[in-house]
Every structure is written in C-alpha cells, then in structure tokens.
A = this chain, B = another copy of it.
Amino acid sequence: MPKETFFNLPSEKRERFMAAALDEFALHDYRSASVSRIVATLGIAKGSVYQYFEGKQELYAYLVASAAAEKFAFIDASVGDEASGFFERFTSTVFHGARFDFTEPRLASILYNVTYEPGAETLSISARLKAASLEYLDGLVRSGIRSGDLRGDIDVGYVAFALYQLSASLRDYLSERFGFSFKAAVQAGSGSPIRDEDLHEVLRELVALLRGGLADTSSSTSRPTTSPV
C-alpha cells in the first residue's frame, strides 16, 4: 500500500529505506519507533517518508506484511510435503520457523513485537497475523484427528490456541536458554543461526509434552503418599 513514488524509487534507495525502517521497528514497538529517527539515520528529509507512505501506520503495516510474507515463504519452502504425521508436520513447521527467526532476527523481531502491540492503531494488523497462524494450526489439528494421530475428543479450538502460544513463546525460551539476544543481533545486523541440535533438543521436549503429556504412567503405585524411607 505504499504510494507509487515508493516503487518508482531506484531499488538501491528503496532497499536502503526498507533496511532502516525494519531496523527501527525491530528495535522499538510501534509507539516508540520514530519516523524522525529513521530519516535521521538515512540522512533524508522527513517529507520524503510522506511521499512514500500515507503515514506511520501504513509504513508499519507494509513492513509487517513484508516480514510475514518472507517468513511464510521460507517455512513453506523448507517444510516440504514429505512430513506426513501431525507431530512431524508440527515439528517441522516450528523448526524451520525458529531457524528463520535466528537467521533473520530483524524480521523475526518485527513479527514478534506485533503480537504484543497493545494499541488500537495496530490492532487490525496484529489480529490479522494471529488469525492466520491460528487458522493454520486449526487445520493441522483437524487433519491430525482425521488421520488418527490425535485423540478424537480434544477441543480443537483450545488445542490450536495452546500450540500457538507454545510455538510463539519458543523464541523467548530459546533465547534465554542459549543466551541469544535478538536485540543485539539486530543491532549487529547479523543473524547467527542456532545450532540445529540445540533446537531439536528443545523441540523434542515440546513434542514429548504434546504427544504423551507429563503424567507418570509407568509405575505400579500411582502416587506414594509418604516418602518410602
């Protein structure tokens, strides 16, 4: 939805602009992100921004849409069609999603931030994104039930929601556990991909929880009421 002027720009200039804008919104939430700061970084006049976009909101919407399109394309291309079972497909989707996040911390941060935008101005943008993710998971769960991978008595709506939360929050867990700072990565401009083994180890935990739950079903005594000294 940028103005025509933006697309008429020499691609080098357009990309320089996008890079600066993505940086700004990756490092700050919507309200804190500053158009003035973007133009200061680029050394261009503020008026130029308003030749490209109607305003801050439109700029933001465009950045979010770009980031989302890139991430979805990456996941689609990576997951492929061979993974057929529910848990395999889910694992693969989350795995490649996380790989994308660590490789493209700038885009990932924007998509992460938008999830938690509280303001009314950004509501439609964030709601659309969340709805798309939930819809995908909803379909995945339904087909998992149909194929017999999942129990038939689960509440599809709630389970899709839980999967959404657990996969979205993975970023927090991974960055804490492996000491990865997305903010620092954005500032450094470099994505240092996480080790696949580390990622798989965490995903194994997540999928084990989702697959079989936490309850101990092995032992003979269901729960020893007193310590067996």
Residues in chain A within 8 A of chain B (CB atoms): 28-29, 31-32, 84-85, 87, 113, 116, 118-119, 144, 147-152, 154-155, 157-159, 161-162, 165-166, 169, 172-173, 177, 202, 205-206, 208-216, 218-219, 221-225
Contact = CB atoms under 8 A, between A and B. Distances in A.
A91 B88 CA distance: 30
Contact of A223 (B29, B85, B206, B221): B85
A150 B215 CA distance: 5
Q: Taking each of A32, A144, A205, which has the highest tally of chain B beta carbons within 10 Å of its own beta carbon?
A: A205
A150 B210 contact: no
Nearest to A154: B214
Q: Taking each of A165, A221, A222, which has the highest tally of chain B beta carbons within 10 Å of its own beta carbon?
A: A165
Given A173-B158, A206-B158, A210-B214, A32 B119 contact: yes
Contacts of A87: 215
Contacts of A152: 216
Contacts of A29: 118-119
A205 B141 CA distance: 15
B173 A161 contact: yes
A177 to B, nearest CB: 7
